[in-house]
Amino acid sequence: MSSHSPSLPLIHARGLTKRFGTFTAVDAIDFDVAPGEAFGFLGPNGAGKTSTMRMVGCTSPATAGTLRILGMDPATQGPEIRGRLGVVPQADTLDEELTVRENLLIYGRYFGLSRAECGRRADELLDFAQLTERRNSRVEPLSGGMKRRLTIARSLINEPDVLLLDEPTTGLDPQARHLLWDRLYRLKQRGVTLVLTTHYMDEAEQLCDRLVVMDKAKIAAEGSPRSLIEQYSTREVAELRFPVGVQETLGDQLDGLADRVEHLPDRLLLYAEDGEAVAVAAHDRGLRPETVLVRRSTLEDVFLRLTGRSLVD
Amino acid sequence: MSADLAEPPPPNAGPGAGPSVGPSAGPGAGPGGGLPGADLAEPPPPNAGPGAGPGGGLPGPAAAHAGAVRPGVPSGLASAARVFEHRAYQYRRAFRGSLFGSFVNPALFLMAMGLGLGGIVNARSPGAFSGVTYLQFLAPGLLAGSAMQQAIFESTFPVMYGLVWRRIFHAMYATPIGPQAIAVGTLAWIAFRLALVAAVFTIVAALFGALKSPLALLGIPAAVITGLAFAGGMGAFMATQRTPDKFSAIFRWVITPLFLFSGTFFPISSLPAALQPIAWLSPLWHGVELTRGATLGTLLDDPILTLIHVAVLIGLAVGGGALFVRNVRRKLAA
Amino acid sequence: MSAAAEPRIAPSPGPGPGPGPGPGPGHGAAGPGAGPRANAGGGRSVPRAWHLIERNLFVYRRTWTIIVSGFFEPLFYLVGIGYGLGRLVGDVTGPGGTPIPYAAFVAPALLATGAMNGAIAESTFNFFFKLNYNRTFQSILATPLAVRDIAIGELGWALTRGGLYAIGFMAVIAVMGLVSSPLAILAIPAALLLGFAAGAVGMAATSFMRSPQDFDLINVFTLPLFLFSATFYPIETYPEAVRTIVTWTPLYQGVALIRGLTVGVVGPEMLVHVAYLVVMGSIGLWITARRLDRVLLK
């Protein structure tokens, strides 16, 4: 049995590395996940998030470094660890030849549960996922949001200590996303540790207590959403859009206007504590943008600062 | 790459759906469509509010620490049994139709070729089969041949389904069970299906009077190991594939010739003498000889030869199975 | 996933079109002939339908493999069933009552079966998935191609494949000395006619299908046809009453037509066979067009 105690991190990684041949997918990263927190890996596609999750999920052996989950080493106790994890993969791996309820039953059996226990838990989880009415329906006609809820329900059949979610709301419409976030938030309230990957900054901000920003196989920054924004960005941002071709000509006119300036292909970002003031100052200098938008900083801005690119390619 | 090509046919669209008369595009090569329609936005039900009722009974670590049932790690054998159970659940929906087909198809073949053609053959070549009728000669050949075809199907589409199309194997691996159990459980299910179909075939053949000996019951295990001799290798190969394209080619260039030239419905002695030794290379030929020996009661006439047949088939089955386990592990635990 | 138990011993033309037509949105459909509106007169249907064929050919770049398997596959079956089994059977009663070698008896039946199978496969599996799952196909529907053009175009493609296969098959049969008459060359269009009839009926049936489970039903028809249409043994094997019934089945008509041509025994009954197949195909096409109208454009 594991020797994990509440004060130790649930997941501990030092120098964790994953290489496929000559390609390094994860490059010596360090992180810890505390019990009961919601921890996120934020980064664009190809950053190494999924590879990291697969190592944490004990389905992919690490090439180098230390990884401990619930105090156990995946190399020697993979099945035990998996028995206490819940996994929500990026693609719903639901069995379309079974009904909704059967998907839950079968999965529970893989954890060694008795049929009676599987049935009991399945019914509870159907309730949680709001799928009770569809329990005898085939899986194929369900909407994307329902399938995702089913996948999440399935991942809970073994009452896991840690739930791993890989891009949980990719491909879902806004309503479905919000419903999902609500369900995940309830789980968190009940003490389930959540580890998720995402490339949506709103998801990271909504769900995560702490997160790491990953890019090109490395961790670029770490902290709570708020602390990351405070550290790597200003409070507000003024977005200015100019007619085609004008933005490139601005040069000196922008000096000293704001704490930081970022040029994006379609607009100009001026970072400052007070966005309205900057917008006014820009106007005073003779800049005539077509549109002006003042907003608070987000994790997108953090990512831009750290890597020079936006989260969504 | 077009989503149209990558998407699987909907379940049960594979071998069960294929006409038995071997259409060109049939075996899994036909469908190429993407998933229909767009997702419908699903509005939450009216009382999706406070989780009093639903959330209350929700499993979570709190419940676990309060001494609720903690799932353990099933043993290797138990794990494979779970995989078998999973397949059994899948089969529940389709088994009636499938069983019906398992009765009807052999019956039709035995009627047409065994009796219809058999009448002519028996008249023209009375001594060709050492004292048995053409029907009695044919039946075990068909039995072994269908076992081979069945095994080829069962080791293609479910493997594609599990590793590529719906990634069910990946879902299984996210639990305490491992790739070996997944592969072994899959093969165990294939063996069960082969046994089931062989048993039904034997009943039909008996009703037609095609069986000559009580040893005929051994035809069932003979058919099973014949099929398994193919299942492992085919499964191992398909586990490396992203699409079923090669399946058509294999069926066309390997399976069909094997079926035609392994003594299934005419004896090897009918072939030119120069070609006859090639039969030894055909796993199906070994299976046909074994099965025929069972149904005609001649198994013990040459025990060494019988043992050779058994050894070849079991050797292929075990070797193929090992390759299958290895390739599944490579795909899942990369 | 479940699998049926039946042995498969029948030939089929070509390696199959693979997992359905791939990407290449509207290649054929965007051709110059696709101008006028969907309800233009029938005279325009053939050129426009040609574009569907063109698109399919473009996509199925491996036509040579179709031809190659058209050579080898019949070789396998002919040597196996024709000679292997033939050694046991000797001569059988051919059309017109004359005895012919078993291989010469079976060869035309194998060609007919191959034509039927190929057409059925294309017009059921592939057609079903194109209709219901393949966005490429559905995107073609957004172009001015009329529904009728689609039916004809799809069938035309199936027949093109069938024609290539039949040519290969006939070449092999001829080389093996299994034809007795120069009329045998007409077996190629005869095979196409059978393919047309089978394909049209196949498409009609597919337009009614709701789920892939329905494919099993096709088997229920094609397997008995294959086994009992005087393919492996002469129709004289049957008692009189059964003989009459079998005579009216589609594959028998095709087999009798093709066998008569390859053996060189032709008479007025050939016209009956031809007429039967033409009528069968036309009814099939008509039903298909009506059903497609309802299914696609609703």
CATH of the domain at A278: 3.30.70
CB nearest to B170's CB, from A93, A96, A179 = A93
pLDDT of residue B169 exceeding 90, the answer is yes
A280 Cβ neighbours under 8 A, 6+ residues apart? none
Distance CA A265, CA A43 (A): 20
Residue of C nearest to B262 (CA): C80
Q: Which residue has the tokens 């060109």?
A: B24
Q: In chain A, what residues touch B42 (CB-CB under 8 Å)?
A: 143, 145-146, 175-176, 179
- In 3D space, the residue among C291, C272, C270, C290 whose CA is nearest the CA of residue C280 turns out to be C272
Q: Which residues of C touch B260 (CB under 8 A)?
A: 9, 76-77, 79-81, 84
- B270 lies within 8 A of chain A by CB: no
Q: Return the residue matching tokens 């704490």.
A: A259
The pLDDT score that the predictor gives to residue A15 is 97
- Is B43 an interface residue toward A (CB < 8 Å)? yes
Answer whether A127 touches B (CB < 8 Å): yes
- Pick the residue from chain A with its C-alpha nearest to B334: A60
User: Is the Cβ pair B63, A159 closer than 8 Å?
Assistant: yes
Minimum-distance CB partner of B256 among C76, C90, C226 = C76
Cβ contacts (< 8 Å) between B171 and chain A: which residues? 89, 93-95, 107
Contact assignment for C20 to B5 by CB distance below 8 Å: yes
Q: Which of B39, B180, B329 to mutate to test the interface with A (most CBs of A within 10 A)?
A: B39
Nearest CB to B146: which of C5, C83, C211? C5
State which residue of chain C sits closest to B141, comparing Cα positions: C7
Query: Which residue of B42, B93, B95 is the best one to mutate when testing the A interface, meaning the one whose CB has the most A CBs within 10 A?
Result: B42
Are A147 and A216 within one domain? yes
**Alpha-carbon distance A85 to A163, whole Å?**
6
| A162-166, strands of its sheet edge to edge | A85-88, A162-166, A193-198, A38-42, A210-215, A218-223
Dihedral sign for Cα C14, C20, C25, C29, please. Answer: positive
Same domain, A85 and A167: yes
Distances (CA, A) of B254 to B25, B234, C67, C251: 16, 11, 18, 27
Host domain of residue C280: 42-71+107-296
Comparison of pLDDT for A250 and B92, the residue scoring more: B92
Residues A139, A81, single domain; the answer is yes
A160-208 tens-digit pLDDT: 999 999 999 998 999 999 999 999 999 999 889 999 999 998 999 989 9
H or E stretch at A56: helix A49-56
What CA–CA distance (Å, rounded) separates C265 from C267? Answer: 7
Quick check: B259 and B284 in contact, CB under 8 A? yes
- Whether residues B111 and C227 touch (CB distance < 8 A) is answered with yes
Least reliable range by pLDDT among A274-283, B30-39, B43-52, C81-90: B30-39
Q: Do B23 and C85 touch (CB under 8 A)?
A: no
What is the per-residue pLDDT for B8? Answer: 44
Nearest chain C CA: its distance from B100 CA (Å): 9
Instruction: Count up the domains in chain A and report the number.
Output: 2
DSSP string, B149-204: HHHHHHTTHHHHIIIIIS-HHHHHHTSS--HHHHHHHHHHHHHHHHHHHHHHHHHH
Spatial distance between the Cα atoms of B203 and B99, rounded to a whole number of angstroms: 12
Distance, CA of A18 to CA of A28 (rounded, Å) = 8
Residue pair A305/A261 in contact by the 8 Å Cβ criterion: no
Residues of A in contact with B51 (CB under 8 A): 128, 186
The fraction of chain A above a pLDDT of 90, given in percent, is 79
Q: How much is the pLDDT for B309? A: 97
Q: For the residues A111-139, what does the mean pLDDT come to?
A: 95
Asked if B197 lies within 8 A of C113 by C-beta distance, the reply is no
**For the ranges A142-156, B5-19, B58-72, which has the lowest average pLDDT?**
B5-19
* Chain B residues within 8 A of C115 when measuring between CB atoms: none
> Going by C-beta distance under 8 Å and a sequence separation of 6 or more, which residues neighbour residue C100?
C91, C92, C94, C180, C263
Spatial CA neighbour of C192 closest among C211, C164, C212: C164
| Residue that finishes a domain, picked among A172, A204, A224 | A224
Backbone angles phi, psi at A198, to 5 degrees: -160, 155
B274 touches chain A (CB under 8 A): no
Report the Cα–Cα distance between both ends of chain C, in Å, rounded. Answer: 33
Residues A48 and A78 in one domain: yes
Banded pLDDT at A312 (limits 50, 70, 90)? low
Residue B174 contacts A, CB cutoff 8 Å: yes
For residue C101, the model assigns a pLDDT of: 92
Position with higher pLDDT, A11 vs B29: A11
Distances (CA, A) of C120 to A110, B149, C74, C107: 42, 21, 18, 20
- Find tokens 């008459």 and name the residue: C181
The pLDDT score that the predictor gives to residue A150 is 96
Q: Which residue in this structure is represented by tokens 């028809």?
A: C221
Q: How far does the CA of residue C90 sit from the closest CA of chain B (Å)?
A: 7
Q: A117 in contact with B at a CB cutoff of 8 Å?
A: yes
DSSP assignment of B28-54 equals HHS------S-PPP-PPPTT----HHH
CB contact under 8 A, B60 and A146: no
Q: Are A250 and A268 in contact (CB under 8 A)?
A: yes
In this structure, the strands spanning A260-263 and A85-88 are: unpaired
Cβ-defined contact of B22 to C10 (cutoff 8 Å): yes
Interface test with C, best of B1, B12, B21, B129 (most C CBs within 10 A): B21
pLDDT of C2:
37
Supply the range of the domain harboring residue A264. Answer: 234-296
Q: What CATH number is associated with residue A110?
A: 3.40.50.300
Mutation to test the B interface, candidates A154, A159, A188, most B Cβ within 10 Å: A159
For the ranges A36-45, A222-231, B126-135, C265-274, the lowest mean pLDDT is seen at B126-135
Radius of gyration of chain C from its Cα atoms, rounded to whole angstroms: 20
pLDDT number for residue C28? 20
User: Measured between beta carbons, which residues in chain A are less than 8 angstroms from residue B70?
Assistant: 159
Tell me the C-alpha distance between B120 and C99, whole Å. Answer: 13
In A, minimum Cα distance to B178 occurs at: A79
What pLDDT shows up at residue C160? 83
List the single range of A273-282, B14-23, B132-141, B235-244 with lowest mean pLDDT.
B14-23
Which residues on B lie below 8 Å from C295 (Cβ)? none
Q: Which of residues 4-23 of A touch B (CB under 8 A)?
A: 20
With beta carbons under 8 A apart, name residues in chain B contacting C22: 2, 4-5, 32
A40, β-bridge pairs: A196, A211
- On whether any CB of chain C is under 8 Å from the CB of B31, the answer is yes
Query: Is residue A4 included in any domain, yes or no?
Result: no
Picking from B320, B151, B145, B168, the residue whose alpha carbon sits closest to that of residue B237 is: B320
Interface with C, mutate which of B24, B92, B96, B165 (most C CBs under 10 A): B24
- Domain assignment present for residue A115? The answer is yes
Q: Do B177 and A143 touch (CB under 8 A)?
A: no
How far is the CA of A75 from the CAs of A255, B73, B334, C174, in angstroms?
A: 55, 16, 14, 66
Does residue A186 share a domain with residue A284? no
Split into its structural domains, chain C has a count of: 1
Q: Tens-of-pLDDT digits for all 298 residues of chain C?
A: 333 334 444 544 433 322 222 211 111 222 222 223 333 334 456 676 777 776 666 556 566 666 677 677 778 888 888 888 888 888 998 888 889 999 999 999 999 998 898 888 888 888 887 777 776 677 776 666 666 777 778 788 888 878 888 888 888 888 888 888 888 999 999 999 999 999 999 999 988 888 777 887 888 888 999 999 999 899 988 999 999 999 999 999 999 999 999 998 888 999 999 999 999 999 998 898 888 777 666 5
Name residues 249-308 of chain A within 8 A of B (Cβ): none
Please give the share of chain A, as a percent, with pLDDT higher than 70.
Answer: 97
Neighbour count for residue A261 (Cβ, 10 Å): 16
- The answer for residues whose C-beta is within 8 angstroms of residue A214's C-beta and 6 or more apart is A29, A41, A42, A43, A47, A48, A49, A52, A220
pLDDT at residue B44 greater than cutoff 80: no
Evaluate if pTM is beyond 0.90: no
Q: For residue A10, what is the DSSP state?
A: S
Whether residue B11 and residue A156 make contact (CB cut-off 8 A), yes or no, is no
Residue C8 falls inside a structural domain: no
| 8 Å CB contact between C51 and C153 | yes
Q: For the CA atoms of C164, C170, C173, C176, what is the dihedral angle to 10 degrees?
A: -90
**How many angstroms separate the CA of residue C97 from the nearest CA in chain B?**
16
Non-local (6+) Cβ contacts of A254 within 8 A are A261, A268, A270
Residue A153 lies in a domain: yes
pLDDT digits (tens, 9 = 90+) for C13-52: 433 322 222 211 111 222 222 223 333 334 456 676 777 7
pLDDT of residue A6: 54
Residue C118 lies in a domain: yes
> Is residue B192 predicted with pLDDT exceeding 90?
yes
For every residue of C137-190, DSSP letters joined together read HHHHTTSS--HHHHHHHHHHHHHHHHHHHHHHHHHHHHHTT----GGGGGHHHH
Can you give the pLDDT at residue B5? 34
In chain B, residues 309-328 whose CB comes closer than 8 Å to chain A = none
- Chain B residues whose CB is inside 8 A of the C166 CB are none
Those chains having 3 or more beta-carbon pairs within 8 angstroms of chain C are B
Q: What are chain A's partners, defined as 3 or more CB pairs within 8 angstroms?
A: B
Whether C287 is in a domain gets the answer: yes
Task: Quote the Cα angle for C50-C56-C62, to 5°.
Answer: 130
Helix boundaries (H) for A196-313: 201-207, 225-232, 275-284, 299-307
Q: In the predicted model, is pLDDT for residue B19 greater than 90?
A: no
Closest CA to C19 of B123, B2, A77, B219: B2
Residue A99 DSSP class: B
A219 and chain B in contact, CB less than 8 A: no
3-state secondary structure of B12: coil
pLDDT over 90, % of chain B: 63
Burial class (CB in 10 A: 0-12, 13-18, 19+), A53: buried
Q: Give mean pLDDT, residues B126-149.
A: 92
Question: For all residues of chain A together, what is the average pLDDT?
Answer: 92
User: Can you give the pLDDT at residue A41?
Assistant: 96
Q: Do residues A190 and B55 lie in contact, with contact meaning Cβ atoms separated by under 8 Å? A: yes
Taking residues B125-141, report their average pLDDT: 90
* Cβ-based contacts of B334 with chain A (< 8 Å): 20, 60
Most confident of B99-108, B178-187, C156-165: B178-187
